[in-house]
Amino acid sequence: MFEFFFKYPATVFSKGQFVLLSAWPAWVLGLAIIAIAVGLGWNIRQRRGFLTGTRPVAIWLLETLLAALLLFLLWHPAISIATLRPQQNIVSVLIDDSRSMSLKEDGKTRLEQATSGLNGGVLDGLRKRFQVRLYRFGKDAERIDKTDKLTGAAPASRLGDSITAALADSSTLPLGAIVLLSDGADNSGGIDRNTIAQIRQRQIPIHTIGFGKEKVDRDVEISEVTLPARTLADARLAAEVTFRNFGYAGQKAKISVRDAGKVLATQEVTLKGEGSPQTEQVQFNAGIAGAKSYQFLIEPLAGESNTANNAVTRLVNVEGAKPRILYIEGEPRWEFKFIRRAVEDDRSLRLSTMLRTTQNKIYYQGFEDKKETEEGFPAKPEELFKFAGLVIGDVEANYFTPTQQELIREFANRRGGGVLFLGGRETLSDGGYQRSPLNELLPVKLLDRKDTFHRDPAKFELSPQGRDNIICRFDEHADRNVERWKKMPVLADFQEVGDAKPGAVVLAELNASGKRKSPYRPYARDVLGAVIALAGERLAGPRDGVDAENRARRRDQSSTSRRGAGQKLQTAV
């Protein structure tokens, strides 16, 4: 109806701009209307005759409105609308060529629906008025001349990148609009704010045509997998797998990680709320060195409509180089031996140790270059920075010179090295660290007193953060891992520390009889380095090092304590 009367649809008018086409300015119109209103008023006042009450006012008002309308029309009012000029503007048509477009719905794939629509008159209609550029896109946008080049086989659809590429391709041309045909299944992280801002800046309208159902009846889809791009051989990796489900809430699903078809880990999960993203951590062993393509798969569920979106692959560079770790120990201790044994079994690390056996003698192990053992603890960046991790055992702060203390701080802050503090009777609070530059590195506040080290049994409990953190994982399955922690032997000694500093994560807490709960394994990762303090630590038990080893092995045929030691050092790297 609106169009019948006003020729154009209401949307056109809403987008248009009102203008007066008369050469005379608009203020003259206003002035003329006022002048006529005044003149008419004066005239009626002089000649009102028998008219009384409101009648002369109403007559004046009607006359004034009529005169104002006539004057307004004399000023030639109009609506100005921007419109594309035939054959002088370009319209880019982007067609999603990803695998999800090959899904069949109502007897036709989404891609077939798109092409039949385009070839059924849409393209011809566009070409009559505009120059049309066809693109297919998956990971990248690619110009095509006909729709028969579409295959529906691209592994991903990057909407943002593809629109940006199409805009860039026509940056010097009068691009009038973009028509985007897609099912919207973007599995490459969506469109970021920068891309949206970039598109908005060009002021190009994007017309979207969607395919597929807005809501899938029964489906599970992995939308994202995040894990480090590089790691060490034999290291444990924690992948965050994000997925969503439709129609399976409350049911169990199995996530598996595969490398070249070999299953590395599986994890059973309970599917949560319908359609909402759910993230689970899956841990697995990186295996031997090389470029790895890990496949993350949610095993298809009964009645699932689309199984093509159940898997995602990620590339990880598993480095063969064995980073070196420097471990300085202030006195012979049993865990020293068991840490060394743990790292001997670790294919991804090399451990160089300095042990103060007497007041004036250091016993070096794991140093191939004898020159490295001539001057004691490194005093120059080039000497210390060749190591990727540093373990500080029962060493008092003053054993290090001010230069060395500053160097250790730089090691974490500038080099990005990991530092692990083991605790002991002459270190942390008992070693004066609270008054040294090294205090800054520690993720816990140190108590300002001595006698914080106790050779008494203590039990540790995983914190909620520790439960999910890879440092505390001995088992791929979270529940089994917690059980293994509960069965771990008690620590035979521990050290009291203060609260965790802001930003630090407490992975476990110590519970010693008669003592307050103390953070154990606080962990902080700043911009570069990782710093861990073990506020009570016996990697293999204290004077009962053998016992801890024994109990760990007897329980599950593997050495949990040793594995824990290796894992901590890997984390430090």
Partner 1 sequence: MMRRRILTVAGIAIFGCLTLMQAQRSYMPFHDDDDSPAPLPYDANEKTEWAFARLIYPSGRFYGTRGYATIDSPKADRQFSLGVRRLTRIHTRSKEEYISLDGDEVFKWPWLYAVETGHWTLTDDNCKKLREYLLRGGFLMTDDFHGTDEWEVFLSGMSRIFPDRAIVEIENSDAIFHVLYDLDERVQVPGLVNYPFHKTFEKDGVVPHWRAIYDDRGRIMVAMCFNQDNGDAWEWADSPRYPEKYASQAFRMGINYIIYSMTH
Q: Note the residues at the interface with partner 1 (CB under 8 A).
A: 330-334, 336-338, 340-341, 344, 353, 355-359, 361, 363, 365, 425, 455-456, 540-547, 549-550, 553
Q: Smallest gap, in angstroms, from Cβ of residue 394 to partner 1?
A: 9
Question: 353 or 405, CB closer to partner 1?
Answer: 353
Virtual torsion, Cα 115, 121, 123, 126, nearest 10 deg: -150
Alpha carbon distance, N-terminus to C-terminus of the chain: 73
SS3 (DSSP) at 424: coil
Quote the CA–CA distance of 498 and 442 in Å, as a whole number.
11
Radius of gyration in angstroms for the set of CA atoms belonging to the chain, rounded to a whole number: 37
Q: Smallest gap, in angstroms, from Cβ of residue 505 to partner 1?
A: 30
Q: Smallest gap, in angstroms, from Cβ of residue 353 to partner 1?
A: 8
The β-bridge relationship of strands 361-365 and 350-358 is: antiparallel
> Which residues are within 8 A (CB) of 398 and not within 5 positions of it... i.e. 6 or more apart?
431, 432, 436
Quote the CA–CA distance of 536 and 444 in Å, as a whole number.
13
SS3 labels along 260-327: CCEEEEEEEEECCCCCCCEEEEEEEECCCCEEEEEEEEECCCCCCCCCHHHEEEEEEEEECCCCEEEE
Question: 166 or 492, CB closer to partner 1?
Answer: 492
Burial class (CB in 10 A: 0-12, 13-18, 19+), 198: middle
Quote the CA–CA distance of 421 and 434 in Å, as a whole number.
13
Quote the CA–CA distance of 415 and 388 in Å, as a whole number.
8
Q: Smallest gap, in angstroms, from Cβ of residue 507 to partner 1?
A: 26
Question: 286 or 354, CB closer to partner 1?
Answer: 354
Q: Smallest gap, in angstroms, from Cβ of residue 419 to partner 1?
A: 22
SS3 labels along 389-401: EEEECCCCHHHCC
Encoded tokens for 520: 């154990």
Q: Smallest gap, in angstroms, from Cβ of residue 221 to partner 1?
A: 49
Question: 299 or 547, CB closer to partner 1?
Answer: 547
Encoded tokens for 278: 């759910």
Q: Smallest gap, in angstroms, from Cβ of residue 489 to partner 1?
A: 10
Hey, how many other C-beta atoms are within 10 angstroms of the C-beta on 208? 12
Could you say which DSSP state residue 154 is in? B
Question: 372 or 544, CB closer to partner 1?
Answer: 544
Quote the CA–CA distance of 162 and 137 in Å, as a whole number.
6
**Closest C-alpha to 359, from 327, 397, 398, 331:** 331
Quote the CA–CA distance of 369 and 162 in Å, as a whole number.
54
Quote the CA–CA distance of 260 and 292 in Å, as a whole number.
8
Q: Smallest gap, in angstroms, from Cβ of residue 333 to partner 1?
A: 6
Burial class (CB in 10 A: 0-12, 13-18, 19+), 547: middle
**Closest C-alpha to 510, from 443, 456, 465, 460:** 460
Quote the CA–CA distance of 63 and 338 in Å, as a whole number.
106
Encoded tokens for 55: 């009648």
Quote the CA–CA distance of 406 and 427 in Å, as a whole number.
17
Question: 339 or 388, CB closer to partner 1?
Answer: 339
Burial class (CB in 10 A: 0-12, 13-18, 19+), 252: exposed
Question: 412 or 512, CB closer to partner 1?
Answer: 512
Question: 353 or 518, CB closer to partner 1?
Answer: 353
Q: Smallest gap, in angstroms, from Cβ of residue 453 to partner 1?
A: 10
Question: 29 or 326, CB closer to partner 1?
Answer: 326
Question: 137 or 338, CB closer to partner 1?
Answer: 338
Q: Smallest gap, in angstroms, from Cβ of residue 546 to partner 1?
A: 5
Q: Smallest gap, in angstroms, from Cβ of residue 494 to partner 1?
A: 12
Question: 431 or 466, CB closer to partner 1?
Answer: 431
Q: Smallest gap, in angstroms, from Cβ of residue 393 to partner 1?
A: 11
